[in-house]
Every structure is written in C-alpha cells, then in structure tokens.
C-alpha cells in the first residue's frame, strides 16, 4: 500500500520546510499532501522524493507545443470574427523518452510513469526501444506504477552494497 511510502515522503518534505523556514514554528507549517492517484501526482512524488534524498531528477516534456495563429478581427459590417488556426508543433525530444530523467549515485536513471490507478499499463514500441538503448548504454530504466513500488525500488537501489 502506498500510504506508508507517501507518509515517508510527506515527512521528508515537512522536515525540509522546517529547515528552510526556521523562524516558523513546526506546528504552523502546512503539512504537505501527496498522492499517486494519477500520472501527474505520481511523477511529482517521484521527483520530489529523489530531490529530497539529495539526488537530481527532472520531468521530461516530450509533448511539443501548441501555436495559436488565430486573430480576432472586425469585418466590414462591424462583426467580430476569429480567423486563423491553432497548430501543433512536434517536440524535439527522442521518441519514447521516459517521463523522468534522474541521476542517482552517479548513475543515469530513466523512469517511465505508468499509473496503476488509471490503468495506464503498456509501453509503446518507441518506449521499449528507448528502454533498450538506455540499458545497453549502462543506464537504469524503471517503470513506476505506484509510489510504494518506486519507494521500495529506490531504497534497495541506494542501499550500501
């Protein structure tokens, strides 16, 4: 169950906030709230947890961007019209790239978020090819389905050998 892992994350974040704002009494600091009920929330949990443990992590935006070429004009009769269109420009990232890029203990770690709660379970062919390239290069590729699973993996990965 993710509740224990999320509680540990909330405690880490609360401790960081207490250090950041020493003049505020601990009971007055709002308790951080985390969830892994959707992909965005799970991504935030993972990134914050990695960073709170002193490592580097960032979200990778591979969506591209929307360009709005619409203009609002008045025609000769004084009516307001919108002309033009909205178009989508493809992103420049590698096809199949993971949602999170991190460096943990000096090792490149790529994390694909597939939220169990929303039923997002399958990798695309591009994601499978990307995973193969990362692993062939000596990096680590992980599919995170919930925060408890990631939490368990992380603690095992950073455990002294």
The structure's pTM equals 0.80
Helices and strands of the chain, counted as H and E runs: 4, 8
Q: What would the pLDDT profile of 102-156 be if each residue is shown by its tens digit?
A: 999 999 999 999 987 777 778 999 999 999 999 999 999 999 999 999 999 999 9
Residue 97: left if φ>0, alpha if ψ -120 to 50, beta else—which one?
beta
Candidates 93, 21, 10; CA nearest to 58 is 93
Non-local (6+) Cβ contacts of 47 within 8 A are 57, 58, 59, 100, 102
pLDDT, the chain, mean = 90
Q: What are the extents of the domains in the chain?
A: 2-158
Q: Which CATH architecture has domain 2-158?
A: 3-Layer(aba) Sandwich (3.40)
Strands 140-144 and 65-68: unpaired
Strands 86-89 and 80-83: unpaired
Non-local (6+) Cβ contacts of 114 within 8 A are 39, 120, 121, 122, 123, 143, 144, 145
Q: What would the pLDDT profile of 33-76 be if each residue is shown by its tens digit?
A: 999 999 999 999 999 999 999 999 999 976 667 788 888 888 88
147 contacts 6 by C-beta, under 8 angstroms: yes
């Amino acid at each position: 169950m993710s509740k224990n892992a999320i509680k540990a994350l909330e405690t880490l974040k609360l401790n960081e906030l207490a250090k950041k704002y020493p003049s505020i009494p601990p009971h007055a600091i709002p308790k951080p709230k985390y969830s892994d009920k959707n992909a965005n929330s799970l991504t935030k949990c993972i990134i914050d947890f990695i960073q709170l443990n002193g490592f580097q992590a960032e979200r990778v935006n591979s969506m591209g961007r929307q360009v709005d070429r619409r203009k609002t004009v008045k025609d000769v009769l004084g009516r307001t019209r919108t002309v033009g269109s909205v178009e989508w420009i493809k992103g420049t990232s590698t096809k199949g790239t993971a949602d999170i890029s991190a460096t943990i203990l000096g090792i490149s770690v790529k994390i694909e978020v597939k939220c169990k709660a929303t039923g997002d379970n399958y990798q695309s062919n591009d994601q499978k090819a990307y995973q193969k390239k990362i692993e062939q290069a000596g990096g680590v590729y992980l599919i995170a389905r919930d925060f408890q699973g990631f939490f368990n993996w992380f603690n095992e990965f950073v455990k002294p050998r």
